Amino acid sequence: MKILLAGGAGYIGSHTAVALLKAGYQVVVLDNFDNSSPEAVRRVEELTHKPVVLYEADAADKAAVLNIMKQEQPDCVIHFAGLKAVGESVKQPLRYYRNNIDTTLTLLECMELTGCRKIVFSSSATVYGEENPAPCNEEMPKGSCTNPYGWTKSMMEQILQDAAVADKNLGVVLLRYFNPIGAHESGRIGENPRGIPNNLMPYVTQVAVGKRERLTVFGGDYDTPDGTCLRDYIHVMDLAEGHVAAVEYGAGHNGVEIFNLGTGQPYSVLDIVNTFQQVNNISVAYEIGPRRAGDLPVVYADATKAKTVLGWQAKRSLADMCRDSWNWQKNNPEGY
Of 54 and 207, nearer to ligand UFG (C-beta) is: 207
Q: Does 124 bind ligand UFG (CB under 6 A)?
A: yes
User: How many residues belong to the site for ligand UFG (CB under 6 A)?
Assistant: 21
3-state SS of the chain is CEEEEECCCCHHHHHHHHHHHHCCCEEEEEECCCCCCHHHHHHHHHHHCCCCEEEECCCCCHHHHHHHHHHHCCCEEEECCCCCCHHHHHHCHHHHHHHHHHHHHHHHHHHHHHCCCEEEEEEEHHHHCCCCCCCECCCCCCCCCCCHHHHHHHHHHHHHHHHHHHCCCCEEEEEEECEEECCCCCCCCCCCCCCCCCCHHHHHHHHHCCCCCCEEEECCCCCCCCCCCEECEEEHHHHHHHHHHHHHHHHCCCEEEEEEECCCCCEEHHHHHHHHHHHHCCCCCEEEECCCCCCCCECCECCHHHHHHHCCCCCCCHHHHHHHHHHHHHHCCCCC
- Out of 99, 103, 179, 205, name the contact with ligand UFG by CB under 6 A: 179
Task: Write down the catalytic residue from 128, 149, 233, 300.
Answer: 149
Q: Determine which residue in the list 229, 237, 270, 310 makes contact with ligand UFG, applying CB under 6 A.
A: 229
- 29 counts as binding ligand UFG under rule CB under 6 A: no
7 binds ligand NAD (CB under 6 A): yes
Q: What residue 144 binds from ligand UFG, ligand NAD, none (CB within 5 to 8 A, per partner kind)?
A: none
Rounded Cα–Cα distance for residues 77 and 75 (Å): 7
Instruction: Label residue 108 exposed, middle or buried (CB < 10 Å: 0-12, 13-18, 19+).
Output: buried
Near ligand UFG by CB under 6 A: residue from 125, 134, 174, 322: 125
Region near ligand NAD per CB under 6 A, out of 33-41, 241-249, 290-298, 306-314: 33-41
Closest residue (Cβ) to ligand NAD?
10
Told to judge if 336 belongs to the known catalytic residues of this protein, a careful annotator would answer no
| Site for ligand NAD contains 122 (CB under 6 A) | yes
Rule CB under 6 A: say whether 90 interacts with ligand UFG.
no
Stretch that binds ligand NAD, among 6-14, 162-170, 307-315, 319-327 (CB under 6 A): 6-14
Question: Interaction with ligand UFG in 261-290: which residues (CB under 6 A)?
Answer: 269
Output 150 or 182, the one with its CB closest to ligand UFG. Answer: 150
Which residues, 216 to 275, sit near ligand NAD by CB under 6 A? none
Single residue of 26, 48, 186, 199 touching ligand UFG by CB under 6 A:
199
| Burial readout 224-239 (b: 16 or more C-beta within 10 A, e: otherwise) | beebbbbbbbbbbbbb
Residue 116 interacting entry, from ligand UFG, ligand NAD, none, C-beta within 5 to 8 Å by type? none
Catalytic residue set: 149
Q: Under the rule (CB under 6 A), what is the footprint of ligand UFG?
A: 84, 86, 124-126, 150, 179, 198-200, 203, 215-218, 229, 231, 269, 292, 295, 299
Q: Under the rule (CB under 6 A), what is the footprint of ligand NAD?
A: 7, 9-13, 31-36, 58-60, 80-84, 99, 103, 122, 124, 177, 180
